[in-house]
Amino acid sequence: MNFRIRRRGSFWLIILFAWLLPSSMPAADSAAKVYVILWFDTEDYLLPASDDAALHLAKFLSGEEVRATFKVVGEKARTLERRNRADVIAALKKHEIGYHSNFHSTQPSPALYLSQLGWDEGVNEFDRREGPGRADVERIFGQAPSCYGQPGSSWGPQSYGAMSRWGMKVYLDAGNHVNLNDRPCYYCGLLNLYKLAYTLRADLNHPQDLLQAQERFIQARKALLAEGGGVVSVFYHPCEFVHKQFWDGVNFSRGANPPREKWKQPPAKTTEETRSSYRVFEEYVRFLKRFPEVRFITASEAAKLYRDRARDHRFTAAELQTIAKAVGEDVSFQIHSDYALSASEVFALLNAYVDRTQNADATPLVEQLTVKNTPLGPTGRIPLMTETVTTDASQFQRTCRDVADSLDKHGRIPSAVWLGSRPVPPEAYLATLARIAQLRLNGAAMPESIEIKPARLAAARYVADDDPKKLWGWVIFPPGFRAPALMELAKKQAWTLKPAILGKSE
């Protein structure tokens, strides 16, 4: 069905229709949906009134039949338990529970400690520091948290490694570290709802601005419907409804780390100020609900909607040709009919193909190729390469076998691909591999002499350069905090980056 008015009725019927339909009704796909993911960073473990705020919000939303995602801090969950707030726990449990770090703002926050570490040490350290809080949230709320998002802008790529270990599928937050054209994307094998075109809020402290917030949503809805649907991210903190200043700013600003006995409560709003904040929020939610194509979703529902369709794709020889042809010296993700491939998936796919063709007729092997997982990007030092390296067919085939085994055992792109005693960067190897794959798919033999030319990871441009203003402006960081090595590590994981494609709605 679509809403374009056909010119066959009477003039008056057209006028009537025009009057009945909102002016922004889409002419495009009428099955398109606007998915609103509503999430709360539930973190203040100092001001007891923030417990009541979480209770109020959870109950209001349940009454409206809206399910939200409450990302709970480990210490917040333990505090609710200590304060015997079974009522708050029960109300939140009706929604989806996510995770928001163990202590949030005590020093050092995740980006600080991760900035000194490589991949594996970082994953282990994140697991050591944050894992116990995750386990507490699961124990107290009786459900495994579905997602994680960092405190403030204290982001680090190694958190994704720990999340995979924990079985989490979604990174849910708002920030600038990874940005694939302001759209949902996959990074390190997880769905990222992070830097989105539409992260919208109504200002709780300025009720007079509610109309403008509603107008911003109307514009977002129009744009999303025109592109076939999409997601709007709306987030709050329960504590914002009851405080005048954030609980952590009062205690841990600019690197401060006072002992627990010196932690101070933040200044609280008056009863009337709190009531006014609830009014703004409740009116905004009821406004969003009015649109017929709006669906409220949780993090795990987003994971289903944006399910990675490369996982169960069966490739044809023609598709593999297209994939191989699309690889150039600018290595990046690829978008095909209804699925996308990260550079690391293309690497694994083509390597498996060329490896398997070594002693057999190539064509029937294609159908056996699948993308079972997303290999991580390299985590070690990449060798420098400035000029062409030449090798022979025998060495290339042996290297191909070695790379297949390495992918299988380590689950990541090798930092150096060894052609005998000569290491080449994985980007350069992939560009050559793609050329060989095309030859083999055409039935040609492996050439006797093979040239490997320099290439680069073009997808790295979607991961931010280290920039204190853009990335590390959170008031809790010590002044002057920078993390160049951390962002370099993050850029190497751009091998795993690809757009998340919205599935057809019900």
Spatial separation of the C-alpha atoms in residues 389 and 419, rounded to whole Å:
9
From the CB of 49, what's the least distance to Zn ion, in Å?
17
Q: Residue 150 or residue 357: which is nearer to Zn ion going by CB?
A: 150
Spatial separation of the C-alpha atoms in residues 167 and 56, rounded to whole Å:
30
Binding to Zn ion, residues 430-489 (CB under 5 A): none
Burial of residue 291 (CB within 10 Å: 0-12, 13-18, 19+) is middle
Q: Residue 76 or residue 498: which is nearer to Zn ion going by CB?
A: 76
Nearest residue by C-beta to Zn ion? 41
Q: Residue 133 or residue 377: which is nearer to Zn ion going by CB?
A: 133
Q: Residue 152 or residue 377: which is nearer to Zn ion going by CB?
A: 152
107: Cα separation from own chain's centroid: 25
From the CB of 153, what's the least distance to Zn ion, in Å?
10
207: Cα separation from own chain's centroid: 31
Using CB under 5 A, pick the residue from 36, 38, 40, 43 that binds Zn ion. 43
From the CB of 263, what's the least distance to Zn ion, in Å?
16
Binding to Zn ion, residues 116-155 (CB under 5 A): 151
Q: Is residue 78 within 8 Å of residue 72, measured between CB atoms?
A: no
Distance, first Cα to last Cα, the chain: 14
- Only one of the segments 36-44, 228-236, 411-419, 466-474 lies at the binding site for Zn ion (rule: CB under 5 A); that segment is 36-44
Burial of residue 180 (CB within 10 Å: 0-12, 13-18, 19+) is buried
Secondary structure element (H or E) that encloses residue 392, with its range: strand 389-392
- Only one of the segments 35-43, 215-223, 288-296, 314-322 lies at the binding site for Zn ion (rule: CB under 5 A); that segment is 35-43
Using CB under 5 A, pick the residue from 34, 36, 37, 41 that binds Zn ion. 41
Half-sphere exposure of 193 (CA within 13 A, CB side): 32
- Only one of the segments 38-46, 216-224, 353-361, 426-434 lies at the binding site for Zn ion (rule: CB under 5 A); that segment is 38-46
Q: Is 182 left (phi over 0), alpha (psi -120 to 50) or beta?
A: left
Q: Residue 119 or residue 281: which is nearer to Zn ion going by CB?
A: 281
From the CB of 405, what's the least distance to Zn ion, in Å?
42
Q: Is residue 177 within 8 Å of residue 464, measured between CB atoms?
A: yes
Q: Residue 130 or residue 308: which is nearer to Zn ion going by CB?
A: 130
Q: Does 248 participate in binding Zn ion (rule CB under 5 A)?
A: no
Spatial separation of the C-alpha atoms in residues 435 and 334, rounded to whole Å:
16
Q: Residue 133 or residue 151: which is nearer to Zn ion going by CB?
A: 151
From the CB of 173, what's the least distance to Zn ion, in Å?
9
Residues lying near Zn ion in the complex (CB under 5 A): 41, 43, 151
